[in-house]
Structures are given as structure tokens and as C-alpha cells.
A and B are shown apart, each in its own frame.
Chain A
Amino acid sequence: MNRRTLLATTLAATLAAPAAMADDWPTRPLTMVIGFAAGGSTDIQGRVLARVMEEYLGQPVNVVNQPGGGSAVAFTRLKNTTPDGYTFLFGGTTALTFTPIITPVEYEIDDFEYLAAVAIGQNAIVTSAEQPFSTFDEIIEYGRENQMTYAQQTPLDEAIIRSIAEQEGLDLAIVPTGGGGGMAPLVLGREVDFAYSGGTHAQYTPTGEMVVAAFMSAERSPFYPDVPTLIELGYDYSIEDYRTIIVPAGVPDEVKARLMSAAEHASTSEAFIDITEGNTFFPVVFIGQEEMEENVRRIRAATEEVMAD
């Protein structure tokens, strides 16, 4: 969609909608799309968020799972829905900041608007508590003497670790794991030396079996205050992910405002904070549209740079 048609749709939608819409909206049930199967961290967070939002908006918010291609399927469908705000997506931003770089997809960043982020993704490098190393520096130190193995989950974390390994002169073999569920047994069984974790570590660090060696996110996690980020360690890489409420471009301003205030309400709701921080160890935040639009484009540019190497 180019800018002119975008403007035209916005205009048409605004004209068609009666002015009184702001307060009455929504007048019928809403649909929250989740781009992953039921049961994952996005789904768990999304379902609680939906419950909190429906209290605020006074209409039911139905959760629909559209799994496939790390949310690429859900974004493709979302792009083709009517931009009336009744259908919105809740999920991470990697399907926009990363997937299009390596896979041909039918959507782009400009097809959507990023209304509000309510939680920050926690990407980390983990290892087993029974290994002779536990910090990232110790891993590098050990790797200078010994052959090492790393378990990846996305081509992005693989690219980052590969370039750090080259920089530090490590002899590293990298294996795929097919997700957090496949990563855990490899790390705990010490089949691999260290691994990427998108959040699975929340399940295994409290028992003391798994240690977080470093965070790949831009900032330290409040739940592991002593673990540094890669950037702090002197490697200029990060994987940022924001759990965001996303609508197709062209939703009327009043409707967007209603959705944003519902999200803001959720970010202070005890039920949402309990689940998100307590069960998944994702810090709850509220980041408005202006900052999120900027974030998504900044992360995309940075990711393109990493993947170009």
C-alpha cells in the first residue's frame, strides 16, 4: 500500500465513521489475533491482556490463534483485514524487524501501526549450572582452549554468536534446536555448552539448573540484576523484542486512542503484571505509539546490518 492510498483509506474511514464514535467504540466484540499456537508465552500473556482489555472496553475480546512462520501468517492476514480496530494483533515485533530480511513475505512495516508495547522480550544466553563456566566471559575464556557447541533458535542469534566467535577466535559448532522446548534438554544434558533462550530460562533458573550468562536484550532484566548485557560486555549486538498491540494501517484516530488507553490500563492491571512478570519473567511496560513506530524501524535497520555480515 503506498502512502496515497493509505491516506485515502484513512480519510474514507474517518468520513464514514460518525463523530460520536469516540466514546461508544467499541459497539461489538473485538478479535485479538495471536501469531503463535495456544500455550506459548505470547498466548499466555495475550489471553490475560484480552481479559483486562474487555473489562476496560466493555465488549468481549476474543482471542484467535493463527500460528505459522513465527507470526508471518498472522501478519499477512492482518494486513488484509478492514482497518476498523475491531481486529488487532498482540505479539512480538521480530516478524517485522527480522523475518522479512531472510524470507519473502507479503507485508512490510508500513502496512501496520504500532499502538503500544506492554512487555519487553527477554532474549538471553544460557548454560547449564554444571558446566565449568557460568558467565559469558568465562565461556569465551574456555572456548579459547576448547572446541565448543552452541544451540541456536533463530538465524539472528546464530549470526550474532558466529561473529562474536570469529572475533574471539573460538572453534564453535552451531546446532538448531527448533525452539525453547528443544533447547532445554540439550543444555541440561550438557550436549551443548551454551544456548540461546527466548524466555524458556524462566522455567529452569529458579531451580538452579540453568544459568543466564548474558542478556541479548538492550537492557538488563530486573529479574536477573547481576547479569550483564552483550552491549555492556563490549559486543555491539542486541536482539530487541517488544510485545505490542498492532493494527493494520488506516484505523481512525479515535479508535486508536481507545485501544491505546485500554493497553495503558492493562499495563497497570495486577492480573496482567502477575502473569507476565511472575510466570514468564517479562517486565511489563507501557510504550506509546510514537516511540514504538521509531523502535520498530530502528531495530529493523540494525538487524539488517547484522544479517548483512
Chain B
Amino acid sequence: MNFDAVGAAAAEALTLASFIGIGGGVLLGYVVGVIPGLSRSVAISIAIPLTFYMSPYIAISFLIGLSKGTAAGSAVSAILLNAPGEASSAATALDGYPMAKQGKPKTALQIGLIASVLGDIMATIILIFVAIPFARVALLFGPYEMAAILMFALVFIAGLSGGSLFKGLAAGGLGIFLGTIGLDNQTGLPRLTFGYTELMDGLPLIAVAIGTLALSEMFVQSERLRYDRANMAVTLEHRPDDRITWPIMRRILPTIFRGTGVGTFVGALPGLGPSVGSFMSYGMAQRAAKEPERFGKGEPKGIAASESADNAVIPAALIPLFGLGIPGNVSAALLIGAFAIHGITVGPLLLRDNPELLYSIFAGMILASLIMLALGWFGLMVFAQITRVPPHVVIPIVVFFCLAGMMLQGYGTFGLVILLGFAILGYLMKKYDYSFVTFLVAFIITPMLELNLRQSIILSRGNWAILLDRPIALFFIACTVVALVMLAWRSIRTGKPPAGAPAD
């Protein structure tokens, strides 16, 4: 490890500008996390245009801080409303809401916060120690390995996103198709641009992302406007005995370590999101417990297991991103776009050519966790009030940010038209249960996959035998085939989709 770069990174992380940027990200994330219906990827896709005017380091740390904030904030509404702010905190509600009903809402919130922060910091440290050697190894990966890994990631994500296999194939296929629009990367000839100069570089990623993720979600939310959650809310009162104590802390600490481990493992695999992590961790905690019957009735370990894993997934999902340049889920895919805006290509070369930036981002991530602890601890009562903001106030504000964010991109009204088109598409996909996660990841991966596949075919001169010298590529091709066969087998045999949760 280069210690000069580490020192410089620490110095940059401690400037006032980075405190404001990262603190702002965490705060915004916390608020978004608390509001049910406003999800992490919605927030990131809206926030990316805001980072134009920041330095690359602050921009990325801001977005990662935002992700972390949502994961912590979502516990608040899960505990107080029984309506998780993010799908990934659904497991938190299982014990958090009963505990709050029993008159200990503040204890539950504090357990959630501490589990979030600890899971987060530990996973960030694991990321730092894993990503660096991983990126060194990944430098040996050529187009063959990249094409094979991308193919595997695509099939894996499609398989885990739920819904029927055929609907998954349709969504992924549409993503791949739309991903091929633009100038051919070798001959420079336009493909499917229909004479629009604006389409030469393909459909703008930000428009597609904001449309399918954020704006369409607002359409869905406005449909559900009549949903009443006021009478379910737990009121917070000041009670001296309602706080986390050292005995509780000692009881949940092993659970937090286990949750972090599960979350980190799940996060590092492409396609598995925090929802899988938190439910897996919850299940394992219950199985390991001496009195499993107490789970679901306000067991502190349940909250700790779910929240620590939920938060550990966020930094861990950056392992494949920083190591290979491959996004593990939608939020990570959006970060690729954010890096691109600042002229940085994510991948193994980032560590070599720009170590200061990477170390600064790591330092910023640790800083984000600490800010999250401070904000969560002292602002608990304030954030609890956000659960009262009605959706008819939230929705118009978000719609405004979607449109304003798109205008900032510089595509003019053309961008707005595309944005609206994809919002309608996203709405229909959500309505008819097509996986928009599969669609979006396929759309984002396609240009990379096409380029690497094309390079592999040309460089090998069509000779398959070359794969025998490429064991890593061969391994991932085999994995892809196995995954495909298993998916098809399961959905044909049971007529049901394989179990899974959305990849975000």
C-alpha cells in the first residue's frame, strides 16, 4: 500500500468541503430512507446531476454517503410505521415494530442505528482490504474474462430478480436491444438512431435510469395515495428507561458481526442486493438463537441482524465495481455513470492510475459512517417526524427533481421526452411485474458486453481453443451455463419462479 497516497487521502477527507458534501449526502440519504416509497436508486439517480459541480472525490463520496444514509434511515420507518423505507429493511420491521409497540421505540431505533453503523464500518474496512489485492489480480483479466464475467452477471441478476423466467428474459432482452442504440464502436455507423444526432452515443443513461426508477415510481405512488398510515404510527415519548443499555449491546454484538459477514458476502456477489442479505442474516440469527421463538416479538437481535447486513451490503457491492468495473446492483451501476460524468473509468486501472482518488473515497466512506452515527444519534427524534410527511407533498417534489435533474444533463427537451418515455415504460413494467432491475442492468451492461465479446471474437480469430488457455473465462462460462440450466429447470418443474428478491 502506498502510504503517501493514504496520508494525502486522509488529509483530503478532513476538509470542510468534504464534511459538507458527505454530511449532506448522508443527511439526504437518511431523509430518503425514512420516507417509504422513496428508494435508494431513486435518490441516487436524481442526485447524480447534482454532483456536476463537485470534485470527483466529493461527488462519489456524496453518492456513497447517500446510499449508506438510506440503509440506516429505512430502519426508522420500519420500526415506527411497520412500513420499511427500503425493501431491505422489511426484516427490521419484524422485530422493530413489535418492540416499538411495547413502549420501547427509542431503544429499537438505537439498536437499528448502532447495528447499521457497525455493519457499515466493518464492511467498508473489508472492502478496502479486499478491493486492492482484487484489483491487482483483475488487471490480468482480458476481454475473454470480462465478456464471460459480464455474461454471468447478466444471467445471475436476471435469475434473482423474481418474476417468471420468460418475463425476466423479455425485460433483459429489451434492455440489451435498447443498449445497442448509437454509433457502432468500430465502424462508427449509426445504429437505430433514426437520424437523431442526440442518439449517436446511445440513449442517455441518466434519462433511462431516472425514468424507469424514479419518475415511474412516483406514478405508482400517486396511485396508492389513499393509503393511510397515520393510525399505525407509534408515537415517541421521552421515557428515561427507553434507551439502549450495555447488556443489550453485549447481547447483540455477536449478531452484528455475523450480519456484517453475511451482508459482505452477499454484497460482493453480483445481483444479490441488500434485501437478500438482510433476510438471510435474520434467518441465520434466528437459527443460531437459544430462544428462536422470541424472534418476531420484539427481539433486539432481530433488528441487529437485519440492519447490520443491510448496511454491510452497500460497501461490499463496491468490491466488484472497483475491482472489475462490473456493477453488483442498480445503485452500483448508477455509480459507473457518476464516475463517467467526472471522466473516470471505474475498474482495476483506477487503483493504479488514480490511487489518491480511490483512497480518498475510502476515507470519505469511513467519514460517512461516522457522520451517520452522529446524525442518527442526535437527530433521531427529528427523523422520526419525517414519517409524518404525507405522500402528496413528497411526490410533486420528487417529480420536480426528476425533471430538473434531467435538464441539468444538457440534453434539452430531447432528454425530457426520453425521460417521460421511460417513465411510462417503467410504470408498465412495475404494473405488469416485469423486472425493471433486469432491464436496467442489461441496458447498462450491454455496451461493455458487446465490446468485450467483439474483442474476444476478433482476437481469437474465431478459434474456440483459445479458451483452454483462459481458465478464468472458462470457469465463468461454465457458471453461466449452469445458472441458465438451473433457472430453466426450476421454472419449468415448479411452474414458479425461483425464490428471490429485487436486486437492490
A residues touching B (Cβ–Cβ < 8 Å)? 37-40, 43, 64-70, 72-73, 76, 99, 102-106, 147, 149, 152, 154-155, 158, 173-178, 181-182, 184-186, 188-189, 191-192, 203
Q: How far is the CA of A39 from the CA of B52 in the complex (A)?
A: 11
Please name the residue on chain B nearest to A76 by beta carbon: B197
B454–A175 touching, CB < 8 Å:
yes
Shortest distance between the CB of A4 and any CB in chain B (Å): 26
| New A-B contacts (17) at CB < 8 Å, excluding given A38-B341, A43-B343, A186-B143 | A38-B342, A39-B344, A68-B200, A102-B188, A103-B190, A104-B195, A154-B188, A173-B461, A174-B458, A175-B143, A176-B185, A176-B186, A176-B454, A176-B455, A177-B451, A178-B451, A189-B139
Please name the residue on chain A nearest to B144 by beta carbon: A191
Known: A178-B451, A189-B139. A39 touches B459 (CB 8 A): no
Q: B130 on the interface (CB 8 Å rule)? A: no
Question: Across the interface, which residues of A come within 8 angstroms of B56, CB to CB?
Answer: 39
Known: A102-B189, A178-B451, A191-B143. A69 touches B200 (CB 8 A): yes
B343–A103 touching, CB < 8 Å:
no
Known: A69-B197, A173-B458. A39 touches B342 (CB 8 A): yes
Shortest distance between the CB of B290 and any CB in chain A (Å): 52
Residues of chain B from 167 to 197 with CB closer than 8 A to chain A in the complex:
183, 185-190, 195, 197
Residue from B343, B347, B458, B459 in contact with A38 in the complex, judged by beta carbons closer than 8 Å: B343
Residue from A37, A64, A178 in contact with B341 in the complex, judged by beta carbons closer than 8 Å: A37
A interface footprint on B192-217 (CB within 8 Å = 1, 0 otherwise): 00010110110000000000000000
Question: Across the interface, which residues of A come within 8 angstroms of B455, CB to CB?
Answer: 175-177, 186, 191
Centre residue among A43, A173, A175 by max chain B CB count within 10 A: A175
Residue from A37, A99, A186 in contact with B343 in the complex, judged by beta carbons closer than 8 Å: A37
Shortest distance between the CB of B197 and any CB in chain A (Å): 5
- Chosen A-B contacts, 22 in total, with CB atoms closer than 8 Å, are A38-B341, A38-B343, A43-B343, A69-B200, A99-B188, A103-B190, A104-B190, A147-B461, A149-B458, A149-B459, A173-B458, A174-B458, A178-B451, A181-B349, A182-B345, A185-B139, A185-B347, A186-B143, A186-B455, A191-B142, A191-B455, A192-B459
Majority SS of interface residues in chain A? mixed
Q: How far is the CA of A40 from the CA of B343 in the complex (A)?
A: 6
Shortest distance between the CB of A186 and any CB in chain B (Å): 7
Q: B404 on the interface (CB 8 Å rule)? A: no
B451–A182 touching, CB < 8 Å:
yes
Known: A37-B343, A39-B342, A189-B142. A155 touches B459 (CB 8 A): no
Shortest distance between the CB of B196 and any CB in chain A (Å): 9
Q: How far is the CA of A106 from the CA of B196 in the complex (A)?
A: 10
A103–B451 touching, CB < 8 Å:
no
Centre residue among A67, A76, A104 by max chain B CB count within 10 A: A67
Question: Across the interface, which residues of A come within 8 angstroms of B353, CB to CB?
Answer: 203
Q: B320 on the interface (CB 8 Å rule)? A: no
Residues of chain B from 274 to 320 with CB closer than 8 A to chain A in the complex:
none
Q: B73 on the interface (CB 8 Å rule)? A: no
How large, as a class, is the contact surface on chain B?
35 or more
Centre residue among A43, A105, A149, A181 by max chain B CB count within 10 A: A181
Q: How far is the CA of A203 from the CA of B345 in the complex (A)?
A: 14
Question: Across the interface, which residues of A come within 8 angstroms of B345, CB to CB?
Answer: 181-182
Question: Across the interface, which residues of B come within 8 angstroms of A43, CB to CB?
Answer: 343
A152–B186 touching, CB < 8 Å:
yes
Residue from B141, B183, B186 in contact with A103 in the complex, judged by beta carbons closer than 8 Å: B183
Please name the residue on chain A nearest to B183 by beta carbon: A69
A37–B340 touching, CB < 8 Å:
yes
B343–A67 touching, CB < 8 Å:
no
Q: B410 on the interface (CB 8 Å rule)? A: yes
Please name the residue on chain B nearest to A101 by beta carbon: B188
A158–B201 touching, CB < 8 Å:
no
Please name the residue on chain A nearest to B182 by beta carbon: A69
Q: How far is the CA of A40 from the CA of B459 in the complex (A)?
A: 28
Q: How far is the CA of A226 from the CA of B208 in the complex (A)?
A: 48
Shortest distance between the CB of A38 and any CB in chain B (Å): 6
Question: Across the interface, which residues of B come within 8 angstroms of A69, CB to CB?
Answer: 183, 197, 200-201
Please name the residue on chain B nearest to A68 by beta carbon: B201
Please name the residue on chain A nearest to B138 by beta carbon: A185
Centre residue among A43, A65, A69, A186 by max chain B CB count within 10 A: A69
A178–B185 touching, CB < 8 Å:
yes
Question: Across the interface, which residues of A come within 8 angstroms of B195, CB to CB?
Answer: 104
Residue from A103, A185, A186 in contact with B189 in the complex, judged by beta carbons closer than 8 Å: A103
Please name the residue on chain A nearest to B346 by beta carbon: A181
Please name the residue on chain A nearest to B188 by beta carbon: A155
Question: Across the interface, which residues of A come within 8 angstroms of B468, CB to CB?
Answer: none
Shortest distance between the CB of A231 and any CB in chain B (Å): 24
Q: How far is the CA of A188 from the CA of B454 in the complex (A)?
A: 19
A interface footprint on B124-140 (CB within 8 Å = 1, 0 otherwise): 00000000000000011
Please name the residue on chain B nearest to A66 by beta carbon: B410
Question: Across the interface, which residues of A come within 8 angstroms of B142, CB to CB?
Answer: 186, 189, 191
Question: Across the interface, which residues of B come within 8 angstroms of A176, CB to CB?
Answer: 185-186, 451, 454-455
